[in-house]
C-alpha cells in the first residue's frame, strides 16, 4: 500500500520536509501469536521491507519481538546511568547532560561488544551493569598505567566484562510495580530554606 506524505509538522524545517518522498510504499503483515500466556493473539506489522521472499512474516515477527531490547536499553540509560532524574536547570545544559549519558552508554556498549567477541558470545548476553562496574573498577588503573601494562589491563577488563553474562530468560514477565515502599513524608514542593522556616514556625 502507498501512504501519502502528511502535512509538515511544526518542528520540521521546510528543506527536510521537501526532501522526503511524496509517498511511501509500505507492506502490512499480519502475524498470529501462538505463544501460550500472551494476551495478544494477532499483531499487524507495517514495514518498508517490501520483499516478501527476503523478509518473511516469521522474520518480521522475530524482529518485532526483539523490541524488548529497547526497553532494556532505556532501563540501562535511566536507572544504571542515572538519567531518570536530570539535574541541570537550563535547556542547553540538559541537552549536554543527555548527550553525555548517551556517549557513556555507547562507549560502554562498544567495550561490551569487544568483550563478547573475545568470549565468542553475543553482546546481548553480557550484563550492562556488570560492564559498568568493571569499567569503574579498572578505570583509574588504566589511566595511570604504562602503555604495555595498559594493554594487559585492558585484556583483563574484557575478560571481566565477558564473565558477567546474563541468563537466557525468554518471555520473561515482570510486574510494573515498585518493590521498595516510599517513605511517609510529604513532597518538598519549594525551596528548602522556606520549608525549614515553616517547620521552625510550626514548632
pLDDT tens-place string over residues 146-196: 888 998 999 999 999 999 988 766 666 666 677 777 777 888 888 888 888
Instruction: Give the residue with greater pLDDT, 28 vs 198.
Output: 28
**Which residue, chain included where needed, has cell 569499567?**
135
Q: Which residue(s) pair with 24 in the sheet?
A: 3
The pLDDT tens digits of the residues spanning 31-47 come to: 877 766 666 678 888 88
Question: What is the pTM assigned to this prediction?
Answer: 0.66
What confidence score (pLDDT) does residue 190 get? 82
Q: Which residue has the higher pLDDT, 95 or 182?
A: 95
Amino acid at each position: 500500500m502507498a501512504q501519502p506524505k502528511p502535512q509538515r509538522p511544526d518542528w520540521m524545517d521546510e528543506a527536510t520536509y521537501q526532501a522526503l518522498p511524496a509517498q511511501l510504499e509500505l507492506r502490512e503483515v499480519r502475524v498470529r501469536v501462538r505463544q501460550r500466556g500472551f494476551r495478544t493473539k494477532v499483531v499487524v506489522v507495517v514495514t518498508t521491507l517490501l520483499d516478501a521472499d527476503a523478509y518473511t512474516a516469521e522474520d518480521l515477527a522475530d524482529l518485532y519481538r526483539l523490541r524488548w531490547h529497547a526497553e532494556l536499553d532505556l532501563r540501562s540509560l535511566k536507572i544504571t546511568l542515572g538519567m531518570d532524574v536530570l539535574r541541570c536547570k537550563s535547556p542547553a545544559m540538559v541537552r549536554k547532560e543527555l548527550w553525555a549519558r548517551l556517549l557513556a552508554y555507547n562507549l560502554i556498549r562498544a567495550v561490551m561488544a569487544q568483550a563478547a567477541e573475545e568470549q565468542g558470545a553475543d553482546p546481548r548476553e553480557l550484563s550492562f551493569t556488570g560492564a559498568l562496574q568493571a569499567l569503574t573498577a579498572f578505570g583509574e588503573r588504566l589511566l595511570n598505567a604504562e602503555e604495555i601494562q595498559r594493554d594487559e589491563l585492558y585484556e583483563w577488563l574484557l575478560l571481566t566484562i565477558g564473565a558477567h553474562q546474563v541468563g537466557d530468560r525468554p518471555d520473561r514477565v515482570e510486574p510494573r510495580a515498585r518493590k521498595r515502599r516510599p517513605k511517609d513524608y510529604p513532597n518538598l514542593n519549594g525551596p528548602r530554606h522556606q520549608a525549614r522556616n515553616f517547620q521552625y514556625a510550626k514548632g
